[in-house]
Amino acid sequence: MRIEVLVDVKTTLGEGPLWDVDEQRLYWIDSFDGRVFRSTADGRELRSWDVPQKIGSMALRRSGGAVLSLQRGFHLLDFNTGDVELIHDPEPGLTANRINDGKVDKAGRFVAGSMDTMEEGPNGALYSLGPDLKVTKLDQGIVCSNGPCWSPDGKLFYFADTWSGEIWVYDYDQVTGAVSNRRTFTKIDTSRGGAADGSTVDSEGFLWNAQVYDGKIIRYAPDGSVDRVIEMPVKKVTSVMFGGPDLDILYVTSMAKPPLPRFPGDGVLRGSLFAIYDLGIQGVPEPRFAG
């Protein structure tokens, strides 16, 4: 195994690595600076797009362009023009909230949750944006939504409220997009100041989670037990995704500046996009949004 800095763009809050198998390109975002990045698997041909608000996550559309979770709701991005169009703001009265982490299920729904920007109150919720562009609330009472992903067969949905100290798993209805039977998948050791951030699932059904502020990437077995721990060269790792031509490179985003003063700083590599090679494990292709 080897860890390399792929792109050193010093993202203020790097998030959401996304590998697209059709384009053979890697996308990621800077949540606080409102920017979408794209590069080749090895970090070349760097391009970026500015968006008008803080961005929590993005996914590519089957019809072209991207769907975004911005501070004030769900939007569409046209890569050719750079135009951003509002779809729907599910929380118009909750001005202290913003929409955060999201991914796409096998049926093409974009599932994303909101968060309290001070990361204190349970004011957030989990939403599903359907191909018809209608929004459905799936869960609520969430402080900081993070780490949505599915088991390879799509029947289980993983999700974390970062400061709950747990990653949850739900039963997922692939026909309706409904979640049920929420239970604890695994507990996070928050005594070191770390917490669960972005996640992905590999082809063997193991879950990989970035433990933000603790500088660890942890692979969990399907029963929730710890299978592997990777120590990263920075503490503020934020999310993970497998990509590359063979889906065997683990991309890891990080932040250059913590969102709140109470969180720790980091070293010279802060804000870099990392690539981890030679893990001997493959990911699964990421679906595109059907709307």
Per-residue pLDDT tens digits for 5-28: 999 999 999 999 999 999 999 999
Mean pLDDT value of segment 233-254: 97
Kindly state the tokens that stand for 257: 């500046």
Residue 28 domain-assigned? Answer: yes
Residue 190 domain-assigned? Answer: yes
Asked if pLDDT for residue 75 goes beyond 90, the answer is yes
Residue 285 domain-assigned? Answer: no
Which residues form the domain of 54?
A: 2-277
Residue 116 domain-assigned? Answer: yes
Write down the pLDDT at residue 163: 85
Q: How many domains does the chain have?
A: 1
Residue 284 domain-assigned? Answer: no
Mean pLDDT value of segment 49-71: 98
Least confident stretch, 73-77, 180-184, 193-197:
193-197
Q: How is 131-198 classified by DSSP, letter by letter?
A: TTS-EEEEEEEESBEEEEEE-TTS-EEEEEEGGGTEEEEEEE-TTT--EEEEEEEEE--GGGS-EEEE
What are the tens digits of pLDDT across the range 97-114? 999 999 999 999 999 999
Calpha distance 237→58 (Å, rounded): 18
Per DSSP bridges, beta strands 273-277 and 216-220 are unpaired
With bands split at pLDDT 50, 70 and 90, how would you rate the model's confidence at 166?
A: very high
Write down the pLDDT at residue 39: 98
CATH code, domain with 267: 2.120.10.30
Kindly state the tokens that stand for 178: 């409904």
Q: Does 72 count as an annotated binding residue?
A: no
pTM of model > 0.95: yes
Write down the pLDDT at residue 281: 98
Exposure b/e, 105-128, CB count within 10 A at least 16 = b:
bebbbbbbbbbbbebeeebbbbbb
Catalytic residues: 197
Q: Does 83 count as an annotated binding residue?
A: no
Residue 291 domain-assigned? Answer: no
Q: Does 100 count as an annotated binding residue?
A: yes
Write down the pLDDT at residue 129: 98
Q: Does 123 count as an annotated binding residue?
A: no
The count of C-alpha atoms lying within 13 angstroms of the C-alpha of 231, restricted to the half-sphere facing its C-beta, is 0
Residue 48 domain-assigned? Answer: yes
Asked if pLDDT for residue 128 goes beyond 80, the answer is yes
Asked if pLDDT for residue 140 goes beyond 90, the answer is yes
Q: Does 8 count as an annotated binding residue?
A: no
Mean pLDDT value of segment 111-124: 93
Mean pLDDT value of segment 235-254: 98
With bands split at pLDDT 50, 70 and 90, how would you rate the model's confidence at 286?
A: very high
**Mean pLDDT of the chain, nearest integer:** 96
Residue 288 domain-assigned? Answer: no
With bands split at pLDDT 50, 70 and 90, how would you rate the model's confidence at 191?
A: confident
